[in-house]
Amino acid sequence: MKLPEKVIICEVGPRDGLQNEEKVLSVDEKVELINAITEAGYKVIEVGSFMSPKAVPQMANTDEVFKKINKKEGVEYRALVANLKGVERAIACGCKKVKLNVSASRKHNLANLNMTPEESVSKFKECVDLAISNGLGISGSISMPFGSPWEHKIPVEDVKKIVEAYLSVGIREISLSDASGMAVPNQVYNLCTDLKEKYPEVKWILHFHNTRGAGNANVLAGMQAGITWFDSSFGGLGGCPFVPGATGNVISEDLIHMLEEMGIETGINLDKAIEIARRVQDIVGHSLPGYILRAGKSCELIK
């Protein structure tokens, strides 16, 4: 089987996971978690988002969190933004990497914003310019390129139009986000192979939700297509506000465990990742769907 020697796992739990919780975590609780994630060896951490506090109250304290976390050299601390205001907040609190997002669903985008996805992306140009002129990195995410609750499958040509819109505003790092949990492995392999070949200048990140149980299978398909950057969430915490029944991302500690057993390097201390997921359960006050949390590591079975 053709596999990479190492992969980068981006912990998105502090944003994608916690934004779906009823409980709003305090700045100190978030700082504790993010510092632990740094110490576990993650190289990319999605700390929060700079959205309207009314729309996403769980992320209202992201600015304070950024100021208080211990930032380790070589670790990317990323935040989700939706507009210029978000980039301004990122600059003000010392965030060095922002991520934009657009829906690949034409129906979803037209209903919400009265624009096509490409028109939405073209409006991101001012965000890109402001970020770059202030020394921030910027990436773009395409939500639901593998399928959406509005049109089931999304035509590959539509995804390519969005990629080209991102390229035309100067974004070269693109994340494919299966927020609806509809992706299946052969589709992931085919789309990633096609996109990698057509746009070799792009750095691709895959962001899967485990809504229908295909998360790790989709990661495997992505690796076989040559992708080496994947998002995951501690304990599998999360959901998606506009997707019925959505669950969280691919489960961080389960993914690290699987990759370790496959001989693929992540640079992350698995025991620490498991500890973090346990701590998140304590803080949010309910159990998380992680498999390793229940079953333990397979190496522990050997007496």
Residues with a known catalytic role:
240
Q: Single out the segment in contact with Zn ion by CB under 5 A; choices: 14-22, 43-51, 68-76, 81-89.
A: 14-22
CB of 16 to Zn ion, least distance (A): 4
Q: Is 46 a binder of Zn ion (CB under 5 A)?
A: no
* Region near Zn ion per CB under 5 A, out of 12-20, 73-81, 148-156, 264-272: 12-20
Q: State the minimum distance, in angstroms, from the CB of residue 99 to Zn ion.
A: 11
Residue 7 or 179 with smaller CB distance to Zn ion: 179
Shortest reach from residue 67's CB to Zn ion, in Å: 25
Of 68 and 212, which CB lies nearer to Zn ion in the complex structure? 212
Cβ-closest residue to Zn ion? Answer: 16
Task: For Zn ion, give the closer residue by CB, 142 or 179.
Answer: 179
Q: How many residues bind Zn ion (CB under 5 A)?
A: 2
Dihedral sign (CA 183, 185, 191, 196):
positive
Would you say 44 or 179 has its CB closer to Zn ion? 179
Q: Got the DSSP string for 66-122?
A: HHHS-PPTT-EEEEEE-SHHHHHHHHHHT--EEEEEEES-HHHHHHHHSS-HHHHHH
Cβ within 8 Å of residue 114, ≥6 positions away: none
249: β partners: 209
Query: Candidates 9-17, 22-30, 56-64, 198-206 — which segment interacts with Zn ion by CB under 5 A?
Result: 9-17
Interface with Zn ion, residue 16, by CB under 5 A: yes
In the chain, DSSP assigns E strands to 8-11, 44-50, 76-81, 97-103, 137-143, 173-178, 203-208, 229-232
Measured distance CA(27)–CA(66) in Å, rounded: 9
**Least distance (Å) from Zn ion to the CB of residue 240?**
6
Least separation, in Å, of the C-beta of 208 and Zn ion? 8
Quote the least distance from Cβ 303 to Zn ion, whole Å.
Answer: 39
In the three-class reduction of DSSP (H, G, I as helix; E, B as strand; rest coil), residue 292 is classed as helix
Site for Zn ion in 176-235 (CB under 5 A): 179
Alpha carbon 12 to its chain's center: 5
Interacting positions 127-186 with Zn ion (CB under 5 A): 179
d(CA 181, CA 207): 10
CB closer to Zn ion out of 38 and 175: 175
State which residue, 12 or 33, has the beta carbon closest to Zn ion. Answer: 12
At 278, list the tokens: 């346990």
Stretch near Zn ion under the rule CB under 5 A, chosen from 15-23, 45-53, 89-97, 219-227: 15-23
CB-side neighbour CA atoms (13 Å) of 243: 26
What SS3 state is found at 175?
strand
Quote the tokens at residue 163.
Answer: 């990629």
Residues near Zn ion, by CB under 5 A: 16, 179
